């Protein structure tokens, strides 16, 4: 029941497509990383006074950073995973390439408004936007491209025997399509003339929650694949892993029903029912698999020099702490980004491991034995933890989220020190992210296959 | 061993189904503010707001906002991007009825963990029993623009 990917199991067309999705994913992360460094500095006491940009740059940069790093990065990675789970054939190849081209064109379009200093930024939850037609068209094209590619693994949902990784990818594809359905339902149900800020918030609210299920599935796929690679077996028995994947997909598929059951799409009840989705639907499957993974890690062998082991261990710790912090959130202070950055950091660590340790070698672009591979996991993992800790401490003191400069109201030593800790963690995490992007891009951009260092 | 492996996936799926039904069928999980509501003409509400300001303003300001110290009972609060106005000074252990009107777009009033949506044209009346000391935090919980996270009202308890 182990995953049997090998370089020879992929046709040349599939290898090219896989490389394309990875370039789109990692390239988007590279741009997001540059923006993250600037954002972190602009929130660090002392450093913020030295930056030449005003609040408009901050907000457009923040929107662009978030969309690239928590939407495009994961969706393009789903596109890459769909290549690995799609059955062979020209039809699948055509769908994949169509999806990839649309997905890439969408990213280029959605970058234009921010770079051209056009459109009103909106910091609505999950998928913030720059209010410009090109941004919406770009976002829509990207979403459509990934949806086309994600159609391919769906047949695996009912194919027997169910091997955990292909089945999980199929569940992730189904979850993504459910999120798209939520976006479209919200779009059609929100009355014309609704204030743009409220429109953006409610269009992306339900589907945004479903995307968190997708992100969790991506982490669990990484845990499954890396555990098989490191320990020769998954974190939990195959049947239990499949049940966990199916359970998450079940909540995703049921989510569009909320648009009929949850009352007015602009009402408070509608908002709250999706908040409850994350409380009720999300924790159990990763908790079960995470517990199994913790036991595997404790039993060993514990090879701290292995990138797969580091990715597994750090992603588990960061994700678990972030998830726990989610039960202690305030209304609109920095405890929310503390929770979110830690859980998403855990997902990032898993996905980074999956790409470096497993997917790049499938393209003949191995990581090698260098120290940089291990260093990037430590820097990113511990950096995210410090960053999240700082945000949590600042949030308990009432520092509002999504603000900068004087708006943060850093009027006590506690607040200043906490946000200083945020800046320090940001610096470490960005450094880890830069190393990852450097290592992945250097290998992806290299002509020909088979080389490594 | 085989049976145990077979039981766990079924248990996980059954537990998830139960959670799914709980999720979709669950109502009233979140604490709500006890509210009454009534429709109002904007001009009439502004007149009440100005009258309250004239009668109970302390003469102090917080930023550009006047500080008002009304007696227990009805208090008029104007809600708009990105403020709850006026800044209030209330007496401890008293009952106040906050008449909240969103003037521009949809906002919300979150007090503690409880929240109520505020839609333009409809006044929501929230009953507030003030604590012995400190501040009551009232905050917008519905995204309403770039200043949303700073939209926190000032309600201070003074003797």
Question: CATH code at B82?
Answer: 2.60.40.420
- Look at residue A42 and tell me whether its pLDDT is greater than 80: no
pLDDT, tens digit (0-9, with 9 covering 90-100), for A419-444: 888 888 888 888 888 999 999 999 99
A332 contacts B13? CB cut-off 8 A:
no
Decide if B23 and A251 are in contact by the 8 Å CB cutoff.
yes
Considering the domain boundaries, does residue B73 fall inside one? yes
Q: What is the 3-state secondary structure (H, E, C) of chain B?
A: CHHHHHHHHHHHHHHHHHHHHHHHHCCCCCCECCEEEEECCHHHHHHHHHHHHHHHEEEEEECCEEEECCCCEEEEEEEECCEEECEEEECCCCEEEEEEEECCCCEEEEECCEEEEECCCEEEEEEEECCCCCEEEEECCCCCCCCHHHCEEEEEECC
Q: Mean per-residue pLDDT for A122-141?
A: 94
Residues 226-255 of A with CB under 8 A from B: 236-237, 239-240, 242-244, 246-247, 250-251, 254
Phi first, then psi: give them for residue A120, nearest 5 degrees.
-85, 125
The minimum CA-CA distance between B127 and chain A, rounded to whole Å, is 19
Could you give the ipTM of this predicted complex? 0.90
Q: Rounded CA gap, A143 and A180, in Å? A: 8
Contacts of A237 in chain B (CB under 8 A): 5, 8-9
Alpha-carbon distance of A359 to A355, in angstroms, equals 5
**Please, are residues A363 and A294 in contact by the beta-carbon 8 Å criterion?**
no
- Backbone CA torsion sign across B63, B65, B66, B69: negative
B114: closest chain A residue by CA: A331
Instruction: Locate the chain B residue with the closest alpha carbon to A260.
Output: B24
| B22 touches A at CB < 8 Å | yes
What pLDDT, on a 0 to 100 scale, did the predictor assign at position A228? 94
Among B143, B152, B154, pick the best mutation site for testing chain A contact (most A Cβ within 10 A): B143
Name B87's Cβ contacts closer than 8 Å, sequence gap at least 6: B61, B62, B65, B66, B67, B68, B153, B154, B155, B156
Q: Is residue B10 part of a domain?
A: no
Q: Please answer whether residues A432 and A383 qualify as being in contact, where contact means their C-beta atoms are separated by less than 8 angstroms.
A: yes
How far is residue A370's CA from residue A357's CA, in Å, rounded to a whole number?
13
CA–CA distances in Å: residue A433 to residues A226, A425, A429, B151: 19, 12, 6, 34
Contact B66, B133 (CB under 8 A): no
Tell me if chain B has a CB within 8 Å of the CB of A201: yes
pLDDT of residue A48: 64
CA of B55, closest CA in chain A: separation in Å? 32
Number of H helices, E strands in chain A: 17, 2
Give the model's pLDDT for residue A405. 59
pLDDT above 70 covers what percent of chain A?
90
- From the list A156, A213, A155, A153, the residue with the least C-alpha distance to A182 is A213
pLDDT at B2 (0 to 100):
38
A117 or B7: which carries more pLDDT confidence? B7
Residues present in chain B in total: 159
How far apart CA A442 and CA A439 sit, in angstroms, is: 5
Chain B: closest CA distance from residue A321 (Å): 23
Confidence of residue B17 (pLDDT cuts 50, 70, 90): very high
Among A9-18, A47-56, A284-293, A387-396, the range scoring the smallest mean pLDDT is A47-56
Confidence of residue A398 (pLDDT cuts 50, 70, 90): confident
What pLDDT, on a 0 to 100 scale, did the predictor assign at position A229?
92
Instruction: Please report which confidence band the pLDDT of residue A254 belongs to, taking 50, 70 and 90 as the band edges.
Output: very high
Residue by residue, DSSP assigns A2-24 as -----GGGS-HHHHHHHHHHHHH
Q: Tell whether B106 is covered by a domain.
A: yes
- Is B8 inside a domain boundary? no
The rounded distance, in Å, linking the Cα atoms of B122 and B115 is: 16
- For B90, the domain range is 30-157
How many domains is chain B partitioned into structurally? Answer: 1
Predicted pLDDT of residue A25: 97
Q: What is the pLDDT of residue B51?
A: 96
Q: pLDDT by residue (tens digit) across A195-238?
A: 999 999 999 999 999 999 999 999 999 999 999 999 999 999 99
User: B127-156 as b/e, with b when 16 or more CB fall inside 10 Å?
Assistant: ebebeeeeebebbbbbbbbbbbbbbbbbbb
Half-sphere exposure of B111 (CA within 13 A, CB side): 21
Question: 124-143 in B: which are within 8 Å (CB) of A?
Answer: 139-143
At A359 the pLDDT is 94
- Between chains, do A407 and B141 touch, taking CB under 8 Å as contact? no
Q: What are phi and psi of A97, to 5 degrees?
A: -70, -40
Q: What is the mean pLDDT of residues A291-301?
A: 93
Q: What pLDDT is recorded for position B1? A: 34
Question: Which of helix, strand or coil describes residue A364?
Answer: coil
> Which 8-state DSSP code applies to residue A452?
B
Does the pLDDT at position A450 exceed 70?
no
Mutation target vs A (from B13, B23, B126; most A CBs, 10 A cutoff): B23
Q: Do B117 and A268 touch (CB under 8 A)?
A: yes
pLDDT tens for A347-376 read 999 999 999 999 999 998 887 777 878 889
Asked if the C-beta of A295 comes within 8 angstroms of chain B's C-beta atoms, the answer is no
| φ, ψ dihedrals at A160, nearest 5° | -110, 150
Helix, coil or strand: residue A414: helix
Contact A246 B8 (CB under 8 A): no
Taking residue A441's Cβ as centre, other Cβ atoms within 10 Å add up to: 16
Separation of alpha carbons A217 and A209, rounded Å = 13
Question: Region A136-148: what's the mean pLDDT?
Answer: 97
* Structural domain includes residue B13: no
B58 phi and psi angles, rounded to 5 deg? -85, -15
pLDDT given at position B3? 36
In a domain, B9, yes or no: no
Q: Is residue B66 part of a domain?
A: yes
Instruction: Give contacts of A247 with chain B, Cβ < 8 Å.
Output: 12-13, 16
B154 contacts chain A (CB < 8 A): no
Contact: A261, B115; criterion CB under 8 Å: no
Report the run of H or E that residue A129 belongs to, with start and end: strand A129-131
User: pLDDT for A85-126, tens place per residue?
Assistant: 877 777 788 999 999 999 999 999 998 887 777 888 999 999
Distance of CA B65 to the CA centre of its chain: 19
pLDDT over threshold 70, residue A176: yes
Return the residue of A nearest to B16 by Cα: A247
Mean of all residue pLDDT scores within chain A:
88
């Amino acid at each position: 029941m182990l995953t049997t990917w090998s370089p020879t199991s992929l046709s040349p067309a599939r290898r090219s497509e896989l490389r394309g999705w990875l370039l789109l994913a990692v390239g988007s992360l590279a741009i997001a990383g540059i923006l993250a460094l600037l954002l972190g500095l602009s929130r660090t006491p002392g450093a913020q006074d030295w930056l030449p940009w005003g609040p408009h740059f901050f907000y457009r940069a923040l929107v662009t950073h978030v969309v690239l790093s928590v939407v495009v990065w994961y969706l393009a990675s789903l596109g890459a995973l769909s290549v690995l789970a799609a059955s062979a054939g020209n039809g699948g190849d055509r769908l994949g390439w169509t999806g990839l081209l649309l997905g890439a064109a969408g990213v280029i379009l959605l970058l234009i408004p921010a770079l051209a200093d056009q459109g009103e930024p909106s910091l609505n939850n999950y998928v913030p936007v720059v209010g410009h037609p090109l941004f919406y068209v770009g976002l829509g094209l990207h979403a459509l491209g990934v949806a086309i590619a994600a159609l391919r693994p769906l047949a695996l949902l009912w194919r027997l025997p169910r091997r955990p990784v292909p089945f999980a990818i199929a569940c992730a594809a189904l979850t993504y399509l459910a999120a798209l359905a939520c976006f479209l339902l919200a779009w059609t149900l929100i009355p014309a003339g609704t204030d743009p800020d409220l429109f953006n918030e409610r269009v992306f609210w339900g589907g945004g929650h479903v995307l968190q299920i997708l992100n969790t599935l991506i982490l669990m796929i990484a845990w499954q694949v890396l555990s098989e690679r490191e320990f020769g077996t998954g974190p939990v028995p195959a049947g239990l892993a499949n049940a966990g994947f199916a359970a998450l997909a079940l909540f995703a598929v049921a989510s569009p029903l909320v648009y009929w059951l949850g009352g007015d799409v602009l009402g408070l009840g509608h908002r709250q029912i999706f908040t409850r989705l994350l409380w009720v639907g999300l924790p159990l499957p990763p908790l079960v698999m995470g517990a199994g993974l913790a036991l595997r890690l404790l039993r060993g062998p514990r090879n701290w020099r292995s990138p797969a082991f580091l990715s597994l261990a750090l992603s588990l710790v960061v994700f678990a702490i972030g998830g726990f912090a989610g039960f202690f959130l305030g209304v609109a202070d920095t405890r929310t980004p503390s929770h979110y950055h830690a859980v998403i950091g855990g997902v990032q660590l898993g996905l980074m491991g999956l790409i470096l340790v497993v997917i790049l070698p499938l393209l003949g672009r191995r990581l090698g034995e260098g120290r940089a591979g291990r260093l990037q996991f430590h820097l990113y993992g511990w950096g995210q933890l410090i960053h999240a800790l700082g945000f949590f401490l600042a949030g308990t003191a009432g520092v509002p989220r999504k603000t900068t400069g004087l708006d943060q109201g850093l009027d006590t030593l506690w607040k200043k020190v906490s946000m200083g800790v945020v800046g320090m963690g940001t610096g470490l995490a960005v450094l880890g992210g830069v190393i990852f992007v450097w290592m992945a891009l250097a290998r992806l951009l290299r002509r020909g296959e088979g080389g490594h260092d | 061993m085989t049976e145990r492996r077979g039981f766990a996936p079924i248990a996980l799926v059954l537990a998830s189904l139960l959670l799914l039904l709980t999720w979709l069928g669950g109502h009233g999980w979140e604490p709500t503010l006890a509210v009454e509501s009534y429709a109002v003409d904007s001009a009439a509400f502004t007149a009440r707001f100005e009258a309250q300001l004239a009668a109970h303003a302390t003469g102090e300001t917080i930023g550009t906002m006047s500080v008002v110290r009304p007696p227990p009972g009805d208090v008029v609060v104007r809600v708009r991007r990105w403020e709850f106005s006026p800044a209030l000074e209330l007496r401890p252990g008293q009952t106040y009825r906050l008449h909240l009107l969103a003037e521009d777009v949809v906002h919300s009033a979150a007090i503690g963990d409880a929240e109520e949506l505020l839609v333009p044209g409809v006044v929501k009346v929230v009953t507030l029993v003030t604590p012995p000391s400190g501040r009551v935090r009232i905050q917008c919980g519905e995204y309403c623009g770039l200043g949303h996270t700073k939209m926190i009202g000032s309600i201070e308890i003074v003797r």
